[in-house]
Amino acid sequence: MRRCLLAASLALSIGAAHADEGMWLPLQLPDIAAQLRKAGYEGDPAQLADLAKPPMNAVVKVGGATGAFVSPQGLVLTNHHVAFGVIQYNSKPDRDLIGQGFVAGDRAAELPANPDYRVLVTTGFDRVTDRVLTAARGKTGRAYYDAVEAATKAIVGECEQDAGYRCSVADMHYGTDFYRIKQLELRDIRLVYAPPDAIGNYGDEIDNFMWPRHSGDFTLLRAYVGRDGKPADFSPNNVPYVPPAHLEVSTQHVNAGDFAMLAGYPGTTFRNRTAPEFAQQVQWQLPARVELFGKLIETIEAAAAKDEDAKVRYAAQLASLKNGLKRAQGELDGLRRSNAVDARAKDEAAMLAWLAKQPGSQATLADIRAAQAVLEQARATRERDQLLGVLRSQTQLMRAALTLQRLALEKGKPDAQRESGYQQRDEALITGQLKQVQRRFAPEVEKAVLAELLAQHRALPAAQRVPEIEAVFGATAESARAALDALYAKTALGDEAKRLAWMATTPADVAASDDPLLKAAAALMPALLRVEGEAKTRDGELLRLRPAYMKALIAHRTSQGRAVYPDANSTLRVSYGTLTGLEPRDAVVYRPLTTVQGIVEKHTGEAPFNAPAPLLAEIAEGSFGNTADPKLDTQTVDFMTNLDTTGGNSGSPVLDARGKLIGINFDSNWEAVSASWWFDPRYKRAIHVDARYMRWLMDEVYPAHHLLREMGLPVE
Amino acid sequence: MRRCLLAASLALSIGAAHADEGMWLPLQLPDIAAQLRKAGYEGDPAQLADLAKPPMNAVVKVGGATGAFVSPQGLVLTNHHVAFGVIQYNSKPDRDLIGQGFVAGDRAAELPANPDYRVLVTTGFDRVTDRVLTAARGKTGRAYYDAVEAATKAIVGECEQDAGYRCSVADMHYGTDFYRIKQLELRDIRLVYAPPDAIGNYGDEIDNFMWPRHSGDFTLLRAYVGRDGKPADFSPNNVPYVPPAHLEVSTQHVNAGDFAMLAGYPGTTFRNRTAPEFAQQVQWQLPARVELFGKLIETIEAAAAKDEDAKVRYAAQLASLKNGLKRAQGELDGLRRSNAVDARAKDEAAMLAWLAKQPGSQATLADIRAAQAVLEQARATRERDQLLGVLRSQTQLMRAALTLQRLALEKGKPDAQRESGYQQRDEALITGQLKQVQRRFAPEVEKAVLAELLAQHRALPAAQRVPEIEAVFGATAESARAALDALYAKTALGDEAKRLAWMATTPADVAASDDPLLKAAAALMPALLRVEGEAKTRDGELLRLRPAYMKALIAHRTSQGRAVYPDANSTLRVSYGTLTGLEPRDAVVYRPLTTVQGIVEKHTGEAPFNAPAPLLAEIAEGSFGNTADPKLDTQTVDFMTNLDTTGGNSGSPVLDARGKLIGINFDSNWEAVSASWWFDPRYKRAIHVDARYMRWLMDEVYPAHHLLREMGLPVE
């Protein structure tokens, strides 16, 4: 039976999928060819399966998100917000590309991106499961974790021997299957066309997640290579990269009900997590985060209330906490609205009941039970672990002291064995973080934050309390206050030069330091390392045990004729569905297409609703030509589909039934913020720039006729 | 020609009206019978014309808003928010009628309202134009104003000789026509049925103005009279009032597109104001209010920032300023969105062009020009007048000092000649205001507010500056600060007992007072009286001259076959239209009916979204019986129409094509906040409780079957 389940998992499944849900691996598409065709796809699903062949090799990773080649001369279409760093990098006091936008009149005028900006073209996607797991088999816990890590590093190192390539190993189905991904790393990227941010980012944070949207969130880049056709750093002698394939931009109109398909690199989803993990997310994790973040916001605001300078220093941290709280609350509301906990529990119970009836399923069931036990074990210290995480992430000087101590510790090892994040290549980043402290730190606020966290620590059950914390801060509010006063009065880490000086010293110097905050960090370090070690041991066990759960889940779904896609892990996925509106709540209907009328309605003249004068003038003139929607009799801006997306899908090309590009993904709706855990077809929508808006802008408003022609598009 | 225009105005016009716009006087309805029938009304419009006959005499004034008799035994249906004072008055620590709601099991259990609560039944509506204007004719300015005032007072005094009646004179079309309204004043009102406020006020301020709404904003009261059938104070011996008519609650279903009609007492509209007044409202008044209120909010928040006590004291004033700012901004946005200034200007220009071609129109044109000149004169001091208004309305101790000085002045006159607001009957109210100061005043905040207003005063053009203000506060920021410090350090008015003591003294005592704030108020008083006198003179001139404009407007519309309704003035009006949704903005559609699903969606367990457990249980059970909408297959809650309403229409009965009650008005949509100036049929909607929701609540959730039977309604 064990082997039978395994076989089922490796096929990555056959059969009809759930509604339109799914972030499919391209290699799964031939298996779901019937449902793809039924949904309206007119091409050959088999042709979509190979990442290294057209059209999938036209879809690339850009600046951590997605983009696509749209011309034979290396033109890459992505989001304005994905290319924002490039635009910012090229903006100067006398050349405000953010505010004014940019149109390169010819190749020579194209502007080089920041040197670390990359476009990655996938050239290989190969299963390496056996190689990854060979050494791990027979091991458990931390040893299993380390064996997988070592094998992965070896595979990547070997693959990257090929100059110009970047490699990685993707874990599919939580340790069940591993794929080596090989990507050509293009590093001479140039800015070709960007609308003003008042178009590319119209509505900004206010409209973010909020339909209806009216953003022209797109930008065109171009990849260059050396004259030998190989990746190269920027050089004026480089030539445009000739991609193995590019997508054609559609000249057809789109309508509600039309088939749509999207390819991109979604980051992380949790949909195949176990029922108890779903319950914990809704019953503890999200409410706990809402409460903790709420408490931290309150604490920081109160501590900074009378100090205008501190208010400025903590503005970014407060904004981030408020955004995190809002996101957590939105996710919680969504999961409750969808009854996700119940639904997942029923689904899992049915699977386990089915599994118990299968011959020879005892070993699998034992592994599943063992995995659940590991998760339960983690639950026993979840409050403590959350507090320790925040102790680092929400402080400035304390974090600096902990980082310096940890770095000193890691420096004692050969570089390859150092903990990730503390290797030689990370030291510049650490220096940057230590500098940043200066703009974000006020001692009274940090002391208030720590006092609050220490109070929460004292309120933990005895078994969760950390002896090292009590050793440094005592067991009462009074002792904590006294210790904090003493630490922050006497530490010299608040001085930037003195803080940075520790980067240049030896581990022994750090260990011998008299600075009270560095000493406190040293005293806390054993606890942090112990907790980190426990987590790695659990992670190793889960990596070993979860495949049993995943194989059972896949086998059960297969028995129902349903295919299963792996949870998102930043690998290329395909989703298909329909151009469709939404009924977000009682008596409210969202239409699936927005029009330029909405730009005018939202325009206030002040950012983020400051539509540029040329745009408003062209809208007022109303001559939209062949990009105007014939049914709506005006120019569309954005549209909505029920495609399955998550963070990382920014910039994903949206294709029609014939594989033509009809839009570019850039946002999703607030009601779908819980979709990383649960896909609810009633609420999950993705939001795209309508390619017709892009074409109109490039034709009429900020003309770039040479680029339209390069993409094979008509010019009016 | 003058006479010809007059005749046209008095007919109050014949012909087809604009779309569904209109707050028609009932006596106009026979004139627009054709369009009423065309819109779907199946009754006889002539029957709607007489306020003292059925069905219009079933519509009553309740607690400053509207209600309707719905049984032959004096049952009055109005809003929960209109009856809120009655519910609050009867709530006690051990009997929380606000939170729990109330169902009187029988007549004996019905609870008496606060003694000043009134239901007014209109019994007479008679034209008294000649009597009001006889003495005024030939006069101008202040004399015209005083003559109209005196004639009005005489008519009211004579009418109120009839015990148990309250009378008033309504000005139609800005001085063109006057009507005497006689109303039976029922003063023994009792609480019969109220849902919990979590139903009656579900969503509260958050949902206010925001479709979709899910509020059961209704309450049933009962009017009682003495055994002789006449109005009487509360007595256990009183008997239910037998109204001359009552409305029947419909047992039919309603659908989008159905005819709807509403009768009620809308407060004030400005739709027939002149084009320059529209321009001033959009170009100066609303932006100036936004700026001034914003500045005051900023000033109060900054001054109270470090004083928790002051924050509490100014919370209500801040909330009111913020609400005022939001309303002004909403009105401004709406008027701009509708291009109201241009539209009104074109309309007026067309009218004047038409008028110029009419024979003998010179005198009318001269009056219109003269009226415009008076309005222009007012514009010359508008900034000063706004500042003086705020100087009183946004201060506490300064206002108290000004009130005490003004009262001393008025006390020197016979009571009947005192300024309205300072007569003997007003003294209890003034005492109450002087007491309230204690909870709303902090000297540092008031000084900051006055410093800001004085700075704005110093920035006025010289011609607008007030010499008395400069005499008290000097002409510089330093002198103002010094004067404020001295005034507030030394005044004894901050002491409640000392402040109130002045109410008992003679005018001579007040005049001789040493209190620096009272002395400052005395020094400012001549300026305030002078400005008030100028305003009354202008008002008198406008009362004399505006009728020429109104008659021209009516004659011009009549020539186009269009009827004209007078601007709202708290007299009974009828609006008709359609049950219809809304497209508030690009890509967003509001359906016209909400359902109980929305209550569940909004429920958080915390006010204002704390749906009561019995309601949630009944919704979950889903047995809605004959009140369930057959198309939606669930219970509806509220619905939306394009009926023309404004403040004062709360509680208005909504009737179907056969005159049956299908709902009760309680709110309108945010997009329509500018409708008091301009009716835009794209955006103006009114929001009503669906009578089926009321019936379901009374049948299933908080049963009151005896009341349903009394209203002739089925019980499941």
Q: Tell me the per-residue pLDDT of A76-134, one tens digit each, with 9 for 90 and over.
A: 999 999 999 999 999 998 999 999 999 999 999 999 999 989 999 999 999 999 999 99
**How many percent of chain A have pLDDT more than 70?**
97
A203 close contact with B: CB closer than 8 A: no
A595 close contact with B: CB closer than 8 A: yes
Question: Is the Cβ pair B595, A601 closer than 8 Å?
Answer: no
Chain B: closest CA distance from residue A335 (Å): 13
Q: Please name which of B56, B48, B64, B193 lies closest in space to residue B119, comparing C-alpha atoms.
A: B64
Q: Is B250 a catalytic residue?
A: no
**Confidence (pLDDT) at B38:** 94
pLDDT digit string (tens) for A316-368? 899 899 989 999 999 999 999 999 999 999 999 999 999 999 999 999 999 99
Which amino acid makes up residue B350?
Answer: A
**Confidence (pLDDT) at A220:** 98
Q: What is the largest CA-CA distance in chain A?
A: 76
- The confidence band for B416, taking pLDDT boundaries of 50, 70 and 90, is confident
Chain A: closest CA distance from residue B478 (Å): 26
- Per DSSP, the three-state class of A170 is strand
Check if the beta carbon of residue B89 is closer than 8 Å to that of residue B238: no
CA distances B19 to A521, B26, B576, B644, Å, are 75, 18, 10, 11
- For residue B236, whether the previous peptide bond is cis, meaning omega lies within 30 degrees of 0, is no
- Per DSSP, the three-state class of B597 is helix
Question: Is the Cβ pair A212, B588 closer than 8 Å?
Answer: yes
Round to whole Å and give the CA distance between B21 and B28. 14
- ipTM greater than 0.90, yes or no? no
- The confidence band for A20, taking pLDDT boundaries of 50, 70 and 90, is low
Round to whole Å and give the CA distance between B675 and B687. 14
pLDDT digit string (tens) for A617-649? 999 999 898 999 999 999 999 999 999 999 999
Tell me the HSE value of B395 on the side-chain side, using a 13 A CA sphere.
Answer: 29
pLDDT digit string (tens) for B630-648? 999 999 999 999 999 999 9
Which residues of A carry out catalysis? 81, 217, 650
Round to whole Å and give the CA distance between A614 and A220. 20
Tell me how many degrees the CA angle B185-B191-B195 measures, rounded to the nearest 5.
135
B588 close contact with A: CB closer than 8 A: yes
Q: Are strands B75-78 and B177-186 parallel, antiparallel or unpaired?
A: unpaired
Q: Which of B206, B586, B597, B635 to mutate to test the interface with A (most CBs of A within 10 A)?
A: B586
**Confidence (pLDDT) at A16:** 32
Check if the beta carbon of residue A694 is closer than 8 Å to that of residue A664: yes
Residue B558 has pLDDT above 80, yes or no: yes
A588 close contact with B: CB closer than 8 A: yes
Question: Is the Cβ pair B593, A585 closer than 8 Å?
Answer: no
pLDDT digit string (tens) for B207-253? 999 999 999 999 999 999 999 999 999 999 999 999 999 999 999 99
A589 close contact with B: CB closer than 8 A: yes
Q: Is B188 a catalytic residue?
A: no
Report B:260-319 residues touching A (Cβ under 8 A).
305-306
Q: Give first-to-last CA distance, chain A, whole Å.
A: 65
Q: Please name which of A599, A613, A603, A602 lies closest in space to residue A701, comparing C-alpha atoms.
A: A613
Chain B: closest CA distance from residue A338 (Å): 11
Average pLDDT over residues B301-309: 91
- The confidence band for A470, taking pLDDT boundaries of 50, 70 and 90, is very high
Question: Is the Cβ pair A595, B586 closer than 8 Å?
Answer: yes
Round to whole Å and give the CA distance between A687 and A600. 20
Helices (H) and strands (E) counted in chain A, each on its own, are 27, 21
Q: Which two tokens stand for residue B50?
A: 């007489």
- For residue A243, whether the previous peptide bond is cis, meaning omega lies within 30 degrees of 0, is no
Average pLDDT over residues A242-270: 97
Q: Please name which of B473, B312, B309 lies closest in space to residue B391, comparing C-alpha atoms.
A: B473
Question: Is the Cβ pair B586, A211 closer than 8 Å?
Answer: no
Round to whole Å and give the CA distance between A444 and A481. 11
Q: What is the mean pLDDT of chain A?
A: 94
pLDDT digit string (tens) for B99-136? 999 999 999 999 999 998 999 999 999 999 999 999 99
Chain A: closest CA distance from residue B591 (Å): 5
Phi and psi based region of residue B516 (left: phi greater than 0; alpha: psi -120 to 50; beta: remaining): alpha
Q: What is the mean pLDDT of chain B?
A: 94
Indicate which residue of B217, B258, B539, B656 is catalytic. B217
Round to whole Å and give the CA distance between B700 and B693. 10
Round to whole Å and give the CA distance between A714 and A625. 11
Check if the beta carbon of residue A583 is closer than 8 Å to that of residue A590: yes
- Per DSSP, the three-state class of B628 is strand
Question: Is the Cβ pair B587, A586 closer than 8 Å?
Answer: no
Question: Is the Cβ pair A587, B588 closer than 8 Å?
Answer: no
pLDDT digit string (tens) for A211-234? 999 999 999 999 999 999 999 999
Select from A305, A589, A597 the Cβ nearest to the Cβ of B591.
A589
Q: Which residues of B touch A589 (CB under 8 A)?
A: 588-591
Q: Please name which of B427, B422, B437, B424 lies closest in space to residue B497, comparing C-alpha atoms.
A: B437
Average pLDDT over residues B36-59: 92
Tracing tokens 């979840």 back to the chain, one arrives at: A382
DSSP result, B344-387: HHHHHHHHHHHHHHSTT-HHHHHHHHHHHHHHHHHHTTHHHHHH
B342 Cβ contact partners less than 8 Å away, ≥ 6 residues apart: none
Round to whole Å and give the CA distance between B292 and B338. 24
Chain centre to alpha carbon of residue A446: 29
Residue A350's H or E segment, with its range, is: helix A340-357
**Confidence (pLDDT) at A7:** 34
Round to whole Å and give the CA distance between A21 and A577. 8
A598 close contact with B: CB closer than 8 A: yes
State residue B214 phi and psi, 5-degree precision. -140, 45
**How many percent of chain A have pLDDT more than 90?**
90
Tell me the HSE value of A81 on the side-chain side, using a 13 A CA sphere.
Answer: 23
State residue A661 phi and psi, 5-degree precision. -75, 120
Q: Which residues of B1-17 are buried (b: 16+ CB within 10 A; e: fewer)?
A: beeebbebbeebbbbeb
Find, in chain A, the residue whose alpha carbon is nearest to that of B212: A587
**Confidence (pLDDT) at B356:** 97
Q: Which residues of B touch A590 (CB under 8 A)?
A: 587-589
Q: Which two tokens stand for residue B653?
A: 């009965």
- The confidence band for B3, taking pLDDT boundaries of 50, 70 and 90, is very low
Indicate the domain borders of chain A.
275-546
Indicate which residue of B80, B81, B246, B688 is catalytic. B81
pLDDT digit string (tens) for B314-346? 988 998 999 899 999 999 999 999 999 999 999
CB pairs under 8 A between A and B: 56
Residue B9 has pLDDT above 50, yes or no: no
pLDDT digit string (tens) for B623-633? 898 999 999 99
Chain A: closest CA distance from residue B260 (Å): 20
B620 close contact with A: CB closer than 8 A: no
Q: Which residues of B touch A587 (CB under 8 A)?
A: 211-212, 590-595, 598
Question: Is the Cβ pair A587, B585 closer than 8 Å?
Answer: no
Which amino acid makes up residue A162?
Answer: D
Cβ atoms within 10 Å of A606's Cβ, excluding its own: 7
Check if the beta carbon of residue A70 is closer than 8 Å to that of residue A711: yes
Residue B10 has pLDDT above 80, yes or no: no
Select from A586, A594, A597 the Cβ nearest to the Cβ of B595.
A586
Chain A: closest CA distance from residue B616 (Å): 15
Chain A: closest CA distance from residue B511 (Å): 44
Q: Which of A586, A594, A633 to mutate to test the interface with B (most CBs of B within 10 A)?
A: A586
Q: Which residues of A touch B593 (CB under 8 A)?
A: 587
Question: Is the Cβ pair A585, B212 closer than 8 Å?
Answer: yes
